[in-house]
Amino acid sequence: MHGGEVVACGTPDEIIANPKSVTGDYLAGRRAIEVPSKRRNGNKKKVTVSKASGNNLQNVTVDFPLGQFVCVTGVSGGGKSTLTIETLFKTASMNLNGARQTPAPCETVKGLEHLR
């Protein structure tokens, strides 16, 4: 309904062999996304979540640099969504937009003044 269709399924080798699969092209090395020669420096500002403890998080403290592309990765169940959505997003939406949210617990979130 909202776009897309399955064009290939199977093992990685089967995906690579399927001429309709763009993913197969990347897996086979026929296409690539080049690493830029110059990276963004960001704006030297950050948002810091201190001692996040929702769900599987155990007193996690992390800085999110601003003005850069940031990616949070990790294993399934490792707390990525709890940290980014349940803790950071919900706290920011409460403070910046007056949303009525219940964020996952943390000690502080600093640097929200750098966001709008």
7 and 63 housed in the same domain: no
Confidence class for position 21, pLDDT limits 50, 70, 90: very high
pTM: 0.71
Domain that holds residue 106: 46-114
Residue 11 in tokens: 């093992």
Mean pLDDT of 54-63: 96
Confidence class for position 1, pLDDT limits 50, 70, 90: low
Q: Is residue 83 part of a domain?
A: yes
| pLDDT at residue 38 tops 80 | yes
Q: What is the pLDDT of residue 4?
A: 80
Nearest CA among 114, 64, 112, 111 for reference residue 84: 64
55 and 96 housed in the same domain: yes
Q: Is residue 52 part of a domain?
A: yes
Q: What are the beta bridge partners of residue 108?
A: 50
Number of domains in the chain: 2
26 and 50 housed in the same domain: no
- How far, CA to CA in Å, does 63 sit from each of 28, 31, 49? 35, 33, 7
Mean pLDDT of 70-84: 93
Residue 110 in tokens: 């600093």
